[in-house]
Amino acid sequence: MLRNFPPLKLSSLEKLELSHCSSLQSFPEIIGKMENIRELRLLGTLIKELPLSFQNLTRLRKLSLLFCGVVQLQSSIVMMPELTLIEAWGWKGWQWIKWEEDEEKNGSMLPSKVELLWASKCNLRDDFFQIGFTRFAHVIDLDLSNNNFTHLPECIKECLLLKKLDVSCCRQLREIRGIPPKLKHFNATNCLSLTSSSISMFLNQDLHETRKTLLLLPGSRNPEWFNHTSYRPSSSFWIRNKFPGKVLCLFVAPKDRDISDYVKPMLLINDKVYVCFFDRLKFLKLGAEHTFLFDLRNLIFTNNLYEVPLENEWNHVKVTCFDLTAASMPTPVPIQSGIHVFKQENSDEDIMFNDPYTKKRELEMILPLSPSIILDLDLNFDYLDFDLGFDLDFDLDFCFC
């Protein structure tokens, strides 16, 4: 039963495997630099602390510590010169240890090179964001799901490169005090204590106008600034000339229903299905009373939408959500939906949210009628106005004379 490991002085060592040493309580001291170990995985040990000499693994790029106890981690370790990924899972607690000598040597504001920080189910509390966390200014992908902190502090805005943030199932999370400037993907599934003001920050129109967003939020939210919302599982719009550059989609699950893991959005152009999928499947589960909002550019299509030939003058685009677990064929999911098209790249004349062909058909029906019948119909000509190649008001006036 291995409890302790002797010091290591093996400069040529390329792999060190200590996983499943369930009685191992301390990591061995590293004597001298060991530059050949790039990855280190410790699974199911009792190791509580990594010694200061751990930094002699100077070429280490990936550090995985899984199913550990309470781990005391020196803030200086995240400053290792090539360390870009820290993976933690199933800890009983994470405690930072601050080394004053190291702070003076490296400078208190020097950021680490860690780009991926995954720390799910580590019993993180509010003190996690003190001392060591401020070093992660260059993190791009941050997974803090299934933890016990009550707020994301304002310093989260200092993660200037952060694009993906997962706080799902942080059931005590009440407040988010800032949004990183490059954040695109945000998952707050089952953050049921999150305040309305914190959720509203992520529904700000300006946020979505400048980023390729994908958000999963608790609660049923229909942004007032959306072009079109519906109590049906699909939303439509009509385009001509070209596909719009930026389309935002909305799905809202009702209170009384969890949506299957196998729900997928589906895009149709003139009733032709274009197969699409997300690069991260965990964003596809939509729990009861949750809001899913995403930029259409987050979908990966088998065909490039901007190269799809538009057959008609006006082309019908429909975004819907289907349950793929149905026995016979995909069936629509009973959710609300919405569409917003940002028009900075398209003129207003090339996008419509009401069927233009319906107006044309109505006009074709009434124009052959006599003036007296048209008056009896009490039609709203403002609504029926349509470009038929002549002035509608002028010709109707002429008929009544």
DSSP-derived letter for residue 346 is S
Res. 396: pLDDT tops 50: no
Q: Extract the tokens encoding 248.
A: 């935002």
Give φ, ψ of 298 to 5 degrees: -75, -15
Residue from 26, 25, 21, 20 nearest 8 by CA: 26
Q: What is the helix (H) or strand (E) element at residue 397, kind and residue range?
A: helix 392-400
Closest Cα partner for 131 from 161, 100, 152, 157? 100
260-277 residue pLDDT tens: 556 678 899 999 988 777
Tell me the chain's radius of gyration from C-alpha atoms. Answer: 29
Query: Within 13 Å, how many C-alpha atoms sit on residue 365's CB side?
Result: 9
Instruction: Report helix, strand or coil for 104.
Output: helix
345, pLDDT greater than 70: no
Predicted confidence (pLDDT) per residue in 301-324, tens digit? 878 888 888 888 899 999 988 766
With residues binned 3-state (H G I as helix, E B as strand, rest as coil), the percentages for the chain, rounded to 5, are 20, 25, 50
pLDDT at 234 over 60: yes
The arithmetic mean of pLDDT across residues 79-89, rounded, is 95
> Does the structure show a pLDDT above 70 at 375?
no
Q: How far is CA 129 from CA 45, 86, 133, 152, in A?
A: 25, 16, 5, 8
Please determine, for residue 146, whether its predicted confidence score (pLDDT) is greater than 90: yes
The 10s digit of each residue's pLDDT in 31-75 is 999 999 999 998 988 888 889 999 999 999 999 999 888 888 888
For residues 234-238, average pLDDT: 92
Residues 188-217: tens digit of each pLDDT: 999 999 999 999 999 999 999 989 999 999
At residue 393, the pLDDT reads: 39
